[in-house]
Structure 1
């Protein structure tokens, strides 16, 4: 009896093995004919028993499974990328453990090609503003090729563009943890026939120069992206309202790049938002002293002060920027806007007044003050027109101010300038 039982068991195992191989072959045949759905269905039929199969059959099963899912991914099913990756990795692990490699080389080649496909698909997604999809594909590309940390960096950027801040934060922290630097060298040369500067790898550049098709070879070192990574972590925490983590991240960021004045400005803005105005003023003073002759910095200081309602400090910063660069149009426009905004701030109180003698007197007082502020704003722009007579932004803002003042003569004068 025992012999019969063992014989029956052996026959059963053989039948199972035959069934698995038959389904794998059916999947291969369906895939060759372009029917990935039928191929997947055939593999699904063998899936429940594959763990009990011999190593060679398992490797074959996962190799075909990887091919099926990869085919589905290339045809637009982006969710198929991960199962394809998992299947190919399983092939490599099985054959590595067994000491025999039949499908490993092809699996490795497919994984390498898949990395390129994922990156190319991510570029297309970004161009179509499908930023979440792009971020996921770039991250998969990084996982497939961990040495290409640039893919993780671009995955974080795509997540930010898609306003998926939690995912971006995850990627930036991973960049920070692996010590991502991102610096490098850009190689370029001038194409003699077109006269255009072309970037390429060093060996290609040197060959072209030697061949005489290019000249003026240059090498430019690109800066480290470490400061950007830690800065973005701070900015995202601030965006998410996690102020304690944001402050800690700003401290990390400033330790990495103590000369980045924008980090100081960002931290100052955060302190203002959480009600620490003394720290805000301290940091704004530090920022001013870091680059007293930088008009862009002074302009940014003006913007932050204006956003916080500190109109006098904003005006002082804009005037300093204009002392360095008298033709700084945005500083001129914003300087004018500080007066207009302050004047507009009086309108609510004016509208709330009644008809009593005291209310009428108060209304007249506020109106004079508002009009005086508008006039100051107009003076700034009239001065700007002396050096920028055709600037549309200046003319438009000036026309609006004269319209609000009821100054029809100047309104029509500026309107004609705009039309010309």
Structure 2
């Protein structure tokens, strides 16, 4: 997955912020003028052409923050942070980024009346952009652990940025750091206007499952369905999770409700069959599997499960028949014939499964078991040879 670069908004520089007259010195004015020129060129998409102005600003502000008259001046430290944040961004300079970070902290400390809050915010945005770009570079190198750290660092300067939050979550997922991935994804749940909101909600249950928290996974899946009731991915995931965790009785009604909206969805019919099978409703399960096959005759799983339902029913009948010691031989033979006829219904489904996937050992063994049951030695041997060839 390729991450988009330079997508964060960085505010304009407020170079006209006011301060007391006695604090205005030559170096601060020089720095303000030079960084203003650089910002103009950066705004025009030609930041590299402003490198000379940025260097002039750096020289002036370095002197201002150590001069006795301005070393505790919040404006000086504000422009110090802006200048070094831009140097970091332009030159990919980690040392400059560290200075920008220190400058932001110092400016914030000194700016007790918040006169320079907007400019401090600009510095933070610029430094956040630098951290973001570092994160993208780490992602491109598949160094997801570092990418997560970079994106998370960027969030300290751009709190609440949805794209950064999402990217940091993605990096955590790639690093199998599911706790941090969940934390970042959960932070996006309230932001429904975010473009990837649905992706976040549908993927969150998977993250819970990855760490073995099925209770939270089911809760998150239900939340996704509530938020996106007409989204097939969200609905199907909720169905699958409830089937996995044994909530068949509850999920049957959910599947039927979804089928009312999407009756041609073969997977939903298949899931309905699974739910009925798990609940012991074999007739309803078979009907659901057959509907899925009607929609897609090559639906391997539906063919196999339809056959299993039929054969299991016949096996249960056979067990009951063998347990009944009161039957005369003629009655026994008659009932046995009825069972064979019942089980024979499964053969077309099993044969179809074998035709779809000739190397499917389960399908071959199931078909062989039928021919063993009816004592067709030739067919049984033929199927056994195919099974042996696959081993």
Query: TM-score by structure 1 length?
Result: 0.48
Partner of 1:299: 270
Provide the rounded CA distance (Å) in 1 between the counterparts of 2:279 and 2:177.
27
Provide the rounded CA distance (Å) in 1 between the counterparts of 2:132 and 2:191.
20
Q: 1:142 to 1:306 in 2, by over 3 A?
A: farther
Provide the rounded CA distance (Å) in 2 between the counterparts of 1:82 and 1:101.
19
Q: 1:250 to 1:108 in 2, by over 3 A?
A: closer
**Contact 1:92–1:104, Cα closer than 8 Å, also in 2:** no
Q: 1:162 to 1:113 in 2, by over 3 A?
A: closer
Partner of 2:131: 114
Q: What SS does structure 2 have at the residue aligned with 1:293?
A: coil
Structure 2: 5+ residue stretches without partners: 1-70, 320-324, 326-336
* Cα offset, 1:176, TM superposition: 1.9
Deviations 1:213-264 (A, max 9, x none): xxxxxxxxxxxx3334334445656752446x954x5554334222134544
Instruction: From 370, 377, 380, give the equivalent of 2:349.
Output: 380
Which structure 2 residues correspond to residues 188-337 of structure 1 after superposition, within 5 A? 225-233=196-204, 240-242=213-215, 246-247=218-219, 249=220, 252-268=223-239, 278-303=249-274, 313-336=284-307
Greater RCO between the two (CA within 8 Å, min separation 6)?
Answer: 2
**Contact 2:138–2:147, Cα closer than 8 Å, also in 1:** yes
Structure 1: 5+ residue stretches without partners: 1-52, 183-224, 350-356, 358-367
From the two aligned structures, give the one with the greater strand fraction: 1
Provide the rounded CA distance (Å) in 2 between the counterparts of 1:154 and 1:103.
25
Provide the rounded CA distance (Å) in 2 between the counterparts of 1:162 and 1:372.
55
Q: 1:107 to 1:277 in 2, by over 3 A?
A: closer
Q: 1:101 to 1:309 in 2, by over 3 A?
A: closer
Partner of 1:89: 104
**Contact 2:81–2:120, Cα closer than 8 Å, also in 1:** no
Query: TM-score by structure 2 length?
Result: 0.51
Provide the rounded CA distance (Å) in 2 between the counterparts of 1:81 and 1:241.
46
Partner of 2:72: 54
* Cα offset, 1:88, TM superposition: 5.5
Instruction: From 179, 183, 195, give the equivalent of 1:166.
Output: 179
**Contact 2:350–2:363, Cα closer than 8 Å, also in 1:** yes
Q: What SS does structure 2 have at the residue aligned with 1:296?
A: helix
Provide the rounded CA distance (Å) in 1 between the counterparts of 2:235 and 2:158.
36
Q: What SS does structure 2 have at the residue aligned with 1:181?
A: coil
Provide the rounded CA distance (Å) in 2 between the counterparts of 1:293 and 1:102.
58
Provide the rounded CA distance (Å) in 1 between the counterparts of 2:79 and 2:105.
10
**Contact 1:269–1:280, Cα closer than 8 Å, also in 2:** no
**Contact 2:224–2:234, Cα closer than 8 Å, also in 1:** yes
Query: What is the root-mean-square deviation in Å for CA atoms of aligned residues?
Result: 5.5
Q: What SS does structure 1 have at the residue aligned with 2:350?
A: helix
**Contact 2:270–2:288, Cα closer than 8 Å, also in 1:** yes
Q: 1:174 to 1:392 in 2, by over 3 A?
A: same
**Contact 2:202–2:233, Cα closer than 8 Å, also in 1:** no
Q: What SS does structure 1 have at the residue aligned with 2:264?
A: coil
Instruction: From 349, 364, 375, give the equivalent of 1:399.
Output: 364
Q: 1:414 to 1:313 in 2, by over 3 A?
A: same
Partner of 1:411: 384
Partner of 1:178: 191
**Contact 1:339–1:376, Cα closer than 8 Å, also in 2:** yes
Deviations 1:306-362 (A, max 9, x none): 67776655443332111012223343345456678x59x99xx9xxxxxxx9xxxxx
Provide the rounded CA distance (Å) in 2 between the counterparts of 1:163 and 1:307.
33
**Contact 1:265–1:301, Cα closer than 8 Å, also in 2:** no
**Contact 2:368–2:384, Cα closer than 8 Å, also in 1:** yes
